Structure 1
Amino acid sequence: MVFVEMSKRKYTKGLRADQQHQTHLKIVEAAIALHAEVGPLQTTISAIADRAGVQRLTIYRHFPEEHELLDVSLARWFDLNPPPDPQEWRASVAPVDWGIAILSMLYQYYSETAQMWAQYDRDRGCIAVLDGKMAKFDGYLEMLAIDVLVHQPGARQKAKLCQAVARHALQFSTWQSLSQTGLDTVEMAALMDDWLHKCPLS
């Protein structure tokens, strides 16, 4: 009889933990959906509660500090939508083609995640947690800026104008602007890669 009661208690605790996890996930997914629709800055706890089908108090139980929910939501979104892995070109693409390969992969990534990137890019200056996460992505782009120039002669790699073009080519805002002209991903990447090859040294 004691064994049965212990088993029931373990089952109940396990069920409760699973329900808590599901609620936690629903809240995070609701936050992510709203971030994509209206942006993190305009996303309220009330709106998240409505979307997740829970009470506001439930959200505060799971995330006592509001920045915790944003932090977890950002981490979840980036886990589900990682940018191109440098190994994709470093392991299988000749260095002379790194520029076009990187731009093609990154622009395809921006194309697939544009709705959220537009919101993040707009709101980052107003939200410290978001800006911190975006700063890490800025560091990733700095690494890519080195890789896109790796096949260029040394003088071109070090030239400030060429470095500026490389950084500009990798920005979401650059992709966003080019996408409005009707160019497809391959055409955009080819255009910017050509610019990298022809930018003046001074």
Structure 2
Amino acid sequence: MEKRKYNKGLRADKEGETRLRIVEAAMNLHGEVGPAQTTISAIADRAGVQRLTVYRHFPEENELLGACSSHWLELNPPPGPESWRESVATGDWAIAILSMLYQYYSETAYMWDHCYRDRANVAALDEKMKGFDAYLEMLTADMLASQDDERRRGKVCRAVAQHAVQFSTWQSLSRTGIDNAEMAALMDDWLHKCPHA
């Protein structure tokens, strides 16, 4: 009886290891070629398993994409609000947020570039990225927290803050040769000088 329990435990461990290899293979391929170009065959090949094994662990595309996204975000978490809310004066939240976010983007650009490129073509990816959209909206609200009510509710200041947190904004500014600190200062200055409209 004991031996059977032990074998079940070993089998479960092996299944878990296989699942992790599949998730990591998919994650690495997403970072290299993007989710739209990643095939089950390529994932199986990279993980050292048969295609059927991938389907057995992840019968639906969105299940594999969800596991891959969760694993990648666990390894590459974006800056959390405690990073500025607990140690930075509210008036400096915008520059603190942008400095941390732009550093994060610079370290993870390879993945965000592919995900934003493929988002419109992969429905499951679009669904997963809505969580990151909500995160960016939270950043926008925190960046506007120190503004007076009129500016905080104004469409121009909100548009500037929303624009500032986008990966595409960081990507565009990074191509000009300015560094993350300069980008953050530029966008913070723009936010503080935007009209009250």
User: Which of the five TM-score ranges fits, normalised by the shorter chain?
Assistant: over 0.9
AA at the equivalent of 1:158 = R
Residues 87-136 of structure 1 show CA distances to partners (whole Å, capped at 9, x for unaligned) of 11111110111110010011111111110000111111112221112112
5+ residue gaps in structure 1? 1-5
The aligned runs of 1:60-71 (5 Å cut-off) are 60-71=55-66
Percent identity between the two aligned chains:
68
For 2:25, the equivalent position in structure 1 comes to: 30
AA at the equivalent of 2:22 = I
Are the counterparts in 1 of residues 151 and 157 from structure 2 also a CA contact under 8 Å? yes
5+ residue gaps in structure 2? none
For 2:189, the equivalent position in structure 1 comes to: 194
CA apart distance, 1:153:
2.2
Residues 166-189 of structure 1 show CA distances to partners (whole Å, capped at 9, x for unaligned) of 000000000011111111111110
Number of residue equivalences: 197
CA apart distance, 1:67:
2.3
Structure number with greater Rg is 1
Instruction: Give me the TM-score of the superposition, normalised by structure 1.
Output: 0.94
Q: Distance in 2 between matches of 1:64 and 1:134?
A: 21
For 1:9, the equivalent position in structure 2 comes to: 4
Q: Distance in 2 between matches of 1:136 and 1:64?
A: 23
Residues 3-33 of structure 1 show CA distances to partners (whole Å, capped at 9, x for unaligned) of xxx2222222211111111111000000000
For 1:102, the equivalent position in structure 2 comes to: 97
For 1:78, the equivalent position in structure 2 comes to: 73
For residue 84 of structure 1, give the secondary structure of its aligned residue in structure 2.
Answer: coil
The answer to whether the aligner puts 1:149 opposite 2:144 as a matched pair is yes
Q: Distance in 2 between matches of 1:12 and 1:152?
A: 62
For 1:49, the equivalent position in structure 2 comes to: 44
Instruction: Give me the TM-score of the superposition, normalised by structure 2.
Output: 0.96
The aligned runs of 1:102-121 (5 Å cut-off) are 102-121=97-116
Q: Relative to structure 2, which stretch is displaced further, 14-23 or 169-178?
A: 14-23
Residues 30-53 of structure 1 show CA distances to partners (whole Å, capped at 9, x for unaligned) of 000000001001100000011001
Q: Cα RMSD (Å) of the superposition?
A: 1.1
Are the counterparts in 1 of residues 145 and 152 from structure 2 also a CA contact under 8 Å? yes
AA at the equivalent of 1:152 = Q
The aligned runs of 1:153-172 (5 Å cut-off) are 153-172=148-167
- Runs of at least 4 residues off by over 2 Å: none
Residues 50-104 of structure 1 show CA distances to partners (whole Å, capped at 9, x for unaligned) of 1001111111111122221112111111122221111111111101111100100
